[in-house]
Structure 1
Amino acid sequence: MTSKTQLIASAFKKAGAFIYPKVCLHCNDVGYNGMDLCERCYQGLSWVQYACARCALPLPTGNAPVCGACSNRELHFDYAQTPFRFEGFIRDAVSQFKFNYKLNLGKLLAQLLTEHIENKCVDIPKIIVPVPLHKKRLRQRGYNQALEIARIVSKEISSGLVYDEIYRNRDTSVQMELPAKQRHKNVKDAFSVKDDSTILKNKHVCIVDDVMTTGNTVNEVAKCLKKVGAEEIGVWCIARVSTGKDE
């Protein structure tokens, strides 16, 4: 957008905020910083302070740039970023958005992720790829939560959105219901990419999902992106589970 267009858009946005003020989706107080979340609830979110640079696992201190698990496994993505631990209001909001059609919470989560990206990420990717749902799960749910998040983020940071080059080729079991040893097997080779895909070649691409735990799902997606020549692959998620259960 030109500077003149940006000024006009900003003016309309401010006018809209004045006429229709934001209201906190957690406590119904007045919204903060253009979001449906008040300042007190915003400050009380489960922010990640220190994290592994490869998989975004929350760490107790910033002394080690990479966690022990990443030193001993093959990752197909280069880095991961997440603003929150998967707990408290964030956990509830993700669940309500994902399973109870609370799209307003999805918009808020996408805004929070965008804010984190703009503050933390120097090199913005050319393309964003949401983790795909299987067509059966998509019919049941009505929408892909990762795609809804990616739509907002890509628009705000001016990155391209690609969601039809990669697909889930089988309906996998829900990861959180499986023992740890079965989770990797559950999603192994569960994704495919179009053989003639060229749009991702030599590009910096970022995978978007709602929650990341062990990273098995996004790692399988990244493997597909590598096959069609993606040069650098990142992962952006709303929240990261610290231990135990999977996404």
Structure 2
Amino acid sequence: MSWLVMDAFLEKTTSVVASLAYVSSYFCLCLLVVIAQHNNFLLTLVSAIRFLIYFCPNSEKHVTVTEKRLKWLKMIGYPFLIILDFFVLGTVLPQWSFFVFDALLVVSAFLYIPIVHSIRAVRYLPSIQANQPQRYIMWQLVSISVIKFVYIIYICLTDEQSERFVFYFRVIDAMAIPFLIQISYLGCNRRTMITVLQSFKCGNFWKVCCCPCIETNRIEPEVELAESTGLPLY
């Protein structure tokens, strides 16, 4: 599939410089696609781990992804995805290489539904009222599911040049997933949203552009101490 897209680019030009630009752009897009697939894999893994930890707290020490484990996931994950996508699924079943990763991400997103339901059952607790973790979960669930369903439905209903459309969607996916994750976090509570809006003020904007060494507002997760409720931590 990916080679078909590059051939389509090269057919439109005879200039050597333009051809080199197209080829370099193509490989950059392929890199973005692999990074997006790795992000999808990590999001799927995180949702499965959170589901297990929330409903089976005893499994936390066995399934928690430490920094060392994350490093190994990156070292193994990227070569595996390159081989799987461009040399196995990409040459035999090009569309399925897109569907497999997206279907896994959509299914894993629905693992958050019982977590949200369980959190709402104890929403009277002060820690839940202060942090409202279910809002972040729902934002991420809805945003990712919507964009994935749009891709899948469009590809299923469109037969003409479907392989090329799949490649374009994967490039959009590479840019959309990090954006959706950040928007989910920034929009989940009032404090982070106010901080974001303040950063767009004229004074802060010129500080960032002209004086990057000056310290500006920075959005970071807040860690608060809460009384034990007998519920597993999320």
* TM-score normalised by L of structure 2: 0.22
Identify, as 1 or 2, the structure richer in helix: 2
Which structure shows the higher strand fraction?
1
TM-score (norm 1): 0.21
**Greater RCO structure (CA 8 Å; 6+ sep):** 2
Answer with 1 or 2: which has the greater Rg.
2
